[in-house]
């Protein structure tokens, strides 16, 4: 049965509604390098998702991330409610999430890392780095980095959207943009809610943002203000309870170019988490957490001759929490980094970096990185890298306590060495193939262990955790109106790290994860997108999920229909938490003002 599912997955097609698609070798990547580079120039394994070109293909950012087979989304609820993200088998806490290059990881628990304050419709791209990224980005970048990039208005427009669907789903969106000679403004608001596909799995999500950009003689000034509010029934999320949870987030940032060589940025995030163990009896047990975090960074670039670039910067960070369960805590840390890029010829590129992190209390962490690439022909590139990633424990890891789980205030920061070698084949403007073999060696990995079912889950540092894997993908554009994608990632982990204990998180990774997509634009401006994903988690049966989207992507009136899990597959991405079955959502979007160039 498993073999047939995998054969079907590799034989399926999926398509994207793009107009003329640029060669992948020239697609711009903004993660994994101190400045934007093209895919052809990058020596790391990266994935770029253009959300503006596929506006109606996916409902949530989690759906986009599932198209990257090295990224596993462990989602508890529909509508984007509490979805964990892991890359290359690492835990959900070992992925760093950025918004326009600034950290938004949650200090309380990484379960809330994808509580994004900006509506999906206000974004332009999602960049994913596979492998360690602490040299450039600091803590949490062990398995990889996900950077969400907001859109830049190109005219005066107003978008209005309304839709409805299965399980009482309802959603609305409004986006307004203004564009002057030196300035732009984007205002976005979105909400979606559902009565739930089962008892106590209802949800309501709201988010809104304002982003202002102004160009002066000094450079571009970017000010972003955003917030979100998520309330959801959490039935079975944390055990056999009819739980309920509500999270709220606020984010503010300012980024300023300082001429052509330097920039400065500051970001602030506040997040509140209200958890009720029994929705039917809220007075029995409740947790209330408020955490805050901030980041300030100054970056500069120096060019040495025609073949060498030097990047360096200073960064300061801090976070704090006030909680009825975890108590009141705070910490600060600072870092300096240096990165040198060498391009001795058109065929060879090399980069080396080093970061020194000083954490309050005297702890120091050094994060080196080395990467290189070589075009053996004009179309075939070999690349390799090694890097170091680390993560400080969250406050939940350190101080949490309930009848079944206990934290550990003596936890050490976890770390990992990551090694990879790969090849990219830019066969033509229509075909791009990439493959990477990787290995991760973790130290002091943080997990929750117990000796038997009668014991408490105890936060513990593990030794001996290893992951080996291979990832590959192909993008083929048979015509300017069609795109076909295939991807597959296989993983093997070292389970002897547990030494006879039972783990809460180590075995959650997929040993096989595959995806096939076909995106097609057909007359008169309609877009069809279909995706088949097949996942086999460690010691679990494989499952397949098939989604289809249909929309009119041109003109001012955009009817759309999104059909998810058409095979009505019964599956779980988190143990004992069922996911929705077959569902349909349809609606219409009106576009007033300047039309997009597609």
User: pLDDT tens across 222-261, in order?
Assistant: 999 999 999 999 998 888 899 999 999 999 999 999 999 9
Average pLDDT of the chain is 91
Percent over 90 (pLDDT), the chain:
77
* pLDDT(14) > 60: no
DSSP string, 269-291: EEEEEEEES-TTSTTS-EEEEEE
What stretch of H or E contains 7?
helix 2-11
Q: pTM of the full predicted structure?
A: 0.94
71-75 and 83-87: which strand pairing? antiparallel
Domain contains 42: yes
Residue 448 has a pLDDT of 92
Residue 4: pLDDT band (50, 70, 90) is: very low
Q: Report pLDDT for 463.
A: 84
- Asked whether the predicted pLDDT for residue 122 surpasses 90, the reply is yes
- The answer to whether the Cα torsion of 389, 392, 398, 399 is positive or negative is negative
Q: Is the pLDDT of residue 576 over 90?
A: no
pLDDT of 136 reads 95
| Over residues 17-28, mean pLDDT | 48
Average pLDDT over residues 63-89: 90
Q: In what order do the strands lie in the sheet with 445-450?
A: 405-406, 457-462, 445-450, 502-503
pLDDT of residue 381: 95
Q: Which residues contact 437 (CB under 8 A, 6 or more apart)?
A: 420, 421, 422, 469, 470
The answer to whether residue 282 sits within a structural domain is yes
CB 73 within 8 A of CB 6: no
Confidence bin at 29 (pLDDT 50/70/90): confident
Q: Give the pLDDT band of residue 15 (cuts 50, 70, 90).
A: very low
Rounded-to-integer distance, Cα 168 and Cα 379, Å: 50
**Is 183 a member of any domain?**
yes
| Backbone φ, ψ for residue 490 (5° rounding) | -120, 140
**CATH code, 395:** 2.40.170.20
Q: What is the pLDDT of residue 11?
A: 36
The pLDDT confidence band at residue 553, using thresholds 50, 70 and 90, is confident
**pLDDT given at position 306:** 87
> Which pLDDT score is estimated for 497?
66
Asked if the structure places residue 598 within a domain, the reply is no
DSSP 15: B
Domain count, the chain: 1
Which position has the higher pLDDT, 495 or 552? 552
The reply to whether 444 falls in a domain is: yes
> Averaged over 97-125, what is the pLDDT?
94
Q: Provide the pLDDT for residue 464.
A: 81
3-state helix, strand, coil in the chain (%, to 5): 10, 60, 35
pLDDT at 496: 64
pLDDT at 98 over 60: yes
- Please, are residues 497 and 462 in contact by the beta-carbon 8 Å criterion? yes
pLDDT 10s digits, 423-447: 999 998 889 999 999 999 999 999 9
Question: What pLDDT does residue 465 have?
Answer: 87
109 CB-contact burial (10 Å; exposed 0-12 / middle 13-18 / buried 19+): buried
Single out the residue of 519, 583, 423, 484 nearest to residue 16, CA to CA: 519
Q: Determine the straight-line distance between the first and last CA of the chain, rounded to whole angstroms.
A: 42
Residue 160 has pLDDT above 90, yes or no: yes
What's the CA gap between 256 and 212, in Å, rounded? 12
pLDDT digits (tens, 9 = 90+) for 277-297: 999 999 999 999 999 999 999
The predicted pLDDT at position 193 comes to: 94
- Torsions phi, psi of 101, nearest 5? 85, 0
Q: What domain range includes position 43? A: 2-593
Q: What is the mean pLDDT of residues 336-357?
A: 95
Q: What percent of the chain has pLDDT over 70?
A: 95
Q: Kindly indicate the confidence band of residue 19, based on its pLDDT and cuts at 50, 70 and 90.
A: very low
**Among 10-24, 151-165, 318-332, 498-512, where is mean pLDDT lowest?**
10-24
Whether omega for the bond prior to residue 524 falls within 30 degrees of 0, making it cis, is yes
In a domain, residue 87? The reply is yes
Query: What mean pLDDT comes out for the span 112-134?
Result: 95
Model pLDDT for residues 261-271, shown as the tens digit of each residue: 999 999 999 99
Burial degree of 401 (CB within 10 A; 0-12, 13-18, 19+): exposed
Confidence band of 16 (pLDDT split at 50, 70, 90): very low
Query: What's residue 494's pLDDT?
Result: 67
Whole-angstrom distance, CA of residue 25 vs CA of residue 38: 6
């Amino acid at each position: 049965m498993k073999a047939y599912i995998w054969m079907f997955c590799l034989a399926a097609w999926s398509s994207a509604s793009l107009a003329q698609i640029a060669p992948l070798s020239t697609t711009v990547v903004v993660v994994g390098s101190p400045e934007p580079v093209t895919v052809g120039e990058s020596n790391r394994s990266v994935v770029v998702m253009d959300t503006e070109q596929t506006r109606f293909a996916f409902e949530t950012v989690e759906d986009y991330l599932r198209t990257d087979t090295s990224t596993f989304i462990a989602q508890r609820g529909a509508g984007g409610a509490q979805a964990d993200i892991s890359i290359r088998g690492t835990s959900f806490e070992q992925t760093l999430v950025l918004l326009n290059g600034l950290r938004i990881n949650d200090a309380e628990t990484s379960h809330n890392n994808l509580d994004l304050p900006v509506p999906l419709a206000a974004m332009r791209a999602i960049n994913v780095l596979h492998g360690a990224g602490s040299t450039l980005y600091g803590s949490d970048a062990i398995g990889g980095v996900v950077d969400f990039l907001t859109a830049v208005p190109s005219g005066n427009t107003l978008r209005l959207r309304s839709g409805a669907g299965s399980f009482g789903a309802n959603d609305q969106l409004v986006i307004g943009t203004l564009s002057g000679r030196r300035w732009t403004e984007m205002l976005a608001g979105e909400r979606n809610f559902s009565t739930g596909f089962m008892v106590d799995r209802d949800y309501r999500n709201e988010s809104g943002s304002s982003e202002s950009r102004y160009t002066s003689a000094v450079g571009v000034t970017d000010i972003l203000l955003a917030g979100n509010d998520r309330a959801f029934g959490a039935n079975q999320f944390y055990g056999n309870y009819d739980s309920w949870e509500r999270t709220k987030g606020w984010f503010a940032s300012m980024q300023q170019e300082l001429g052509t060589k330097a920039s400065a940025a500051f970001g602030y995030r506040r997040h509140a988490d209200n958890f009720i163990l029994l929705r039917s009896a809220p007075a029995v047990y409740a947790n209330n957490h408020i955490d805050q975090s901030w980041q300030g960074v100054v970056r500069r670039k120096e060019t040495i001759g025609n073949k060498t670039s030097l990047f360096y910067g200073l960064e300061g960070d801090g976070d704090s929490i006030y909680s009825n369960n975890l108590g009141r805590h705070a910490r600060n840390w600072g870092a300096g980094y240096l990165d040198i890029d060498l391009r001795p010829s058109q065929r060879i590129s090399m980069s080396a970096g080093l970061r020194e992190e000083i954490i309050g209390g005297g702890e120091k962490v050094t994060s080196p990185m080395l990467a290189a690439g070589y075009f053996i022909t004009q179309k075939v590139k070999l690349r390799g890298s090694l890097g170091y990633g680390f993560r400080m424990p969250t406050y939940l890891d350190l101080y949490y306590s309930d009848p079944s789980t206990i934290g550990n205030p003596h936890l050490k920061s976890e770390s990992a060495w990551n090694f990879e070698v790969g090849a990219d084949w830019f066969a033509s403007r229509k075909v791009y193939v990439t493959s990477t073999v990787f290995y991760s060696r973790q130290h002091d990995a943080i997990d929750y262990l117990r000796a038997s079912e009668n014991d408490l889950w105890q936060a513990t540092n593990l030794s001996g955790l290893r992951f080996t894997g291979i990832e590959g993908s192909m993008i083929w554009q048979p015509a300017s109106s069609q795109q076909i994608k295939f991807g597959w990632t296989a993983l093997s982990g070292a389970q002897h790290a547990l030494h006879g204990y039972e783990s809460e998180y180590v075995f959650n990774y997929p040993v096989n994860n595959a995806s096939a997509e076909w995106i097609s634009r057909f007359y008169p401006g309609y877009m069809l997108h279909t995706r088949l994903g097949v996942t086999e988690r460690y010691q679990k049966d494989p499952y397949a999920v098939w989604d289809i989207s249909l929309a009119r992507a041109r003109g001012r009136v955009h009817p759309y229909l999104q059909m998810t899990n058409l095979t009505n597959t019964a599956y779980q991405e988190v143990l004992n938490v069922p996911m929705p079955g077959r569902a349909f959502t349809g609606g219409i979007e009106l576009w007033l003002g300047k039309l997009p160039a597609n």
